[in-house]
Amino acid sequence: MSAIWYIIFPFATEFIMKMLYRLLGIWSIWSPLAMITSLTIPFLILNEKIRIVKIIYLPLVYLPIYINIIHILLFNSEISTNSFMSIFETNLQEATEFIVHFRSMKLLMMTLLFWGVGIVSFLFHDQSFCDYKIRIRIQKKYLITSFFIIYPIFCFGDHRYKYPFEKLLFAYIEYRQDFKRNIELLNKRAGFRFKNIKSLVSSGEPQTYVIVIGESVNKEHMSIYGYNLNTTPNFNAMKSELTIFQEVRSAHCHTQKALKGILCFDEDFANGDIITFFNQAGFKTFWLSNQYTSGNCDSLTAMIGSMADVKKFINKSHYRTKLSSNCDEELLKYLQEILQDEAKRKIIFLHLMGSHLPYSRRYLPNFEVFKGRSKDARSVNVAQYNNSILYTDYILKSVIDMVKKLDDDAFVLYFSDHGEDVTEAQDSPHSHVESLSTPAMFDIPFIVWYSSKYKKINKKFIDRWNVNKVYKTNDLIHSIVAISRLTSDEFSEKKSIFG
């Protein structure tokens, strides 16, 4: 009788879970659940001598499927390779904030049920219900059934239901290969040379160029772009001083992929990066970042930033770090010091935390202007996102005011790495997930302020700008070169938004 119970148990559990989630309207979750029950059965009859197999089996089978199910619950889509890449590139602080942002009773119950089933399946089975020979025969039958019949059906019958461990494995291999390649390229960077870098202007004026990279900002939440709440009062007040491009979209809604196109020629580190370009162009380069990092090589962006003449990564937060140390305002004091540097040609990159979730941690208490409806989590979340936009507006105004005081040939260029889907609609994920790819995840702000001296020197160039030009950020490095009035053999004017 116990033997029948152990065989039926996983299927009974799947049926109960199926009924539960059918009520929630989630259908694609049943493929991975069916897979895990089919693969669990053989191990219900394994003896204690191969306990190590169970120990390996639990994380290799259960963990990827668990991640996949959570992804479905949160975003109503199967997990993708890009999502696994994001997991590999995250750190403890980001992971902790992600959990805090998306925590819910539904996810807690799913977690307890899922892991409870797995642990019970492995630990609570009768080792004496049949002798060794019968055990071996049953084991072989279930192994053959699971791995040669059920497994191919789920893996190859429909690509949407592919076993997530395969995605995890291939994503990890791709991640490690790409990371190793970038490290090798970084070590060889001293021998890399751009060809024929030239300046298109020779005014003799000091040049101070500032590139501000935002995080997860959807332009549709900025009043400067027509949003119905006043989330950008400073930009609104100085609108006549700004050039506001209307049709710029991120090429990706995954941060590292988006920044690869922004900071590297042809989206490939091997073809040269923006810091190396300006180093060879005779600029003194500065990189100030409030993005999480544990070292200069934990992401491609950190690698590129580490090649600047002066670099400062201010956010090496532990997950218990207090709120104030994570706010972008901390960058301003370092920017003030850099602006006093005596170098005649400076380019400064500011990498903000911007509106990275959880949104409530991206601004100081005095910027909590917008408030959602009590007991309405989605409304509160949208309000917190709007407050983070309001705070970024303050940061950008402060940056422009600092640069304006120099009276240099100067500009400040602001854009976001990607957008964010944050509305009160029930299907809004309040995040950015490439497998969903809603327009809000790609629509980003692109705004330029320039000094009177820059305008005087580059009037004909500015007159050619088309603020309604449709543009994707995978060619943005060409735009940064163009607005800095430089050229090289690698540069293409056709790929610049200013061309």
Q: Which amino acid is at 323?
A: L
pLDDT for the residue 280: 96
Inform me whether the pLDDT recorded for 377 exceeds 50: yes
pLDDT confidence of 112, banded at 50, 70, 90?
A: confident
Rounded to 5 degrees, what are φ and ψ at 245? -80, 135
CA atoms of 144 and 38, how far apart (whole Å): 11
Q: What percent of the chain has pLDDT over 70?
A: 64
- Let me know if residue 186 belongs to a domain: no
How many other C-beta atoms lie within 10 A of the C-beta of residue 282? Answer: 13
- Helix-helix angle 30-40:63-75, to 10 degrees: 160
pLDDT of residue 165: 63
Where does the pLDDT of residue 60 fall: very low under 50, low under 70, confident under 90, or very high at 90 and above? low
Cβ atoms < 10 Å from Cβ of 28? 16
Backbone φ, ψ for residue 416 (5° rounding): -110, 155
Residue 155: pLDDT above 90? Answer: no
> Which residues, including other chains, have CB under 8 Å from residue 87's CB and lie 6 or more apart?
67
Q: Which residue has the higher pLDDT, 90 or 360?
A: 360
pLDDT score, position 12 = 47
Beta strands per DSSP E along 336-396: 345-351
Arithmetic mean of pLDDT, 147-158: 45
pLDDT at 14 over 50: no
Same domain for 200 and 171: no
For strand 248-249 and strand 471-472, is the pairing parallel, antiparallel, or unpaired? parallel
Task: Indicate if 370 and 463 belong to the same structural domain.
Answer: yes
What's the pLDDT at 39? Answer: 52
Closest to 364 in 3D by CA, of 314, 326, 309: 326
Residue 426: CB atoms within 10 Å: 6
> 147, 177, 207: which is the final residue of a domain?
177
The pLDDT of 173-186, averaged and rounded, is 78
> Which is nearest to 103 in space by CA: 447, 357, 292?
357
Give the highest mean pLDDT range of 112-116, 250-254, 366-370. Answer: 366-370
Q: Taking residues 209-238, what's their average pLDDT?
A: 97
DSSP secondary structure string for all residues of 200-254: S------EEEEEEEESS--GGG-GGGT-SS-S-HHHHHTGGGEEEES-EE-S-SS
Which of 209, 250, 212 lies closest to 481, judged by CA? 209
pLDDT at 33 over 70: no
In a shared domain, residues 120 and 200: no
pLDDT digits (tens, 9 = 90+) for 475-493: 999 999 999 999 999 999 9
Query: 153 with 209, same domain?
Result: no
- The verdict on 111 and 160 lying in the same domain is yes
Contact 35, 65 (CB under 8 A): yes
- Specify whether 301 is located in the same domain as 400: yes
The answer to the question of residue 183 being in a domain is no
- 113 or 277, higher pLDDT: 277
Give the per-residue pLDDT at 290: 92
| Residue 475 near residue 495, CB atoms below 8 Å | yes
Whether residues 341 and 472 share a domain: the answer is yes
Question: Reduced to 3 states, what is the DSSP secondary structure of residue 469?
Answer: coil
Mean pLDDT of the chain: 78
Residue 252 lies in a domain: yes
pLDDT of 56 reads: 57
* Domain annotation covers residue 367: yes
Whether 438 is in a domain gets the answer yes
- Predicted local distance difference test score (pLDDT) of residue 386: 97
| Neighbouring-strand partners of residue 431 | 421
- Residue with the larger pLDDT of the pair 203 and 371: 371
Contacts of 238 (CB under 8 A, 6+ apart): 397, 400, 449
Q: Are residues 252 and 394 part of one domain?
A: yes
Average pLDDT value for residue range 211-220: 96
- Are 168 and 212 in the same domain? no
Assess if residue 456 is contained within a domain: yes
Note the maximum CA span of the chain: 91
Task: List Cβ neighbours of 302 (8 Å cut-off, separation of 6 or more).
Answer: 289, 291, 293, 295, 296, 313
Is the model's pLDDT at 26 over the cut of 50? no
Question: What integer is the mean pLDDT of 40-46?
Answer: 51
Is 261 inside a domain boundary? yes
pLDDT digits (tens, 9 = 90+) for 305-326: 999 999 999 886 543 344 445 7
- Give pLDDT, residue 358: 86
- The string over 449-460, giving b where at least 16 C-beta atoms fall within 10 Å of a residue's C-beta and e elsewhere, is bbbebbeebbee
pLDDT tier at 331 (50, 70, 90 boundaries)?
very high
Cα separations (Å) of 231 from 223, 227, 369, 373, 411?
A: 6, 8, 9, 18, 23
- The more confident residue out of 254 and 427 is 254
40-58 burial, b at 16+ Cβ within 10 Å, e below that, comes to: bbbbbbbeeeeeeeeeebb
Look up the CATH number of the domain holding residue 406: 3.40.720.10
79 dihedral zone (left: phi>0; alpha: psi -120 to 50; beta): beta
Check residue 43 and give its pLDDT. 52
- Same domain for 115 and 212: no
The pLDDT value given to residue 411? 98
The count of structural domains within the chain is 2
In this predicted structure, the answer to whether residue 237 has a pLDDT above a threshold of 90 is yes
pLDDT at 111: 75
Whether residue 436 sits in one domain with residue 390? yes
pLDDT band per the 50, 70, 90 thresholds, residue 340? very high
| One domain, residues 263 and 391 | yes
How many beta carbons lie within 10 A of that of residue 126, not counting itself?
Answer: 13
**Closest among 266, 219, 267, 217 to 247, alpha carbons compared:** 219
68 domain residue, yes or no: yes
The CA-atom distances, in angstroms, between 378 and each of 71, 226, 285 are 18, 22, 41
> Which of 134-148, 317-331, 343-357 holds the top average pLDDT?
343-357
Q: Which of residues 148, 177, 206 is at a domain's end?
A: 177
pTM: 0.76
Q: Which domain holds residue 428?
A: 196-495
Of 144, 177, 210, the residue at which a domain comes to its end is 177
Buried b / exposed e along 166-175 (16+ C-beta atoms within 10 A): ebbeebeeeb
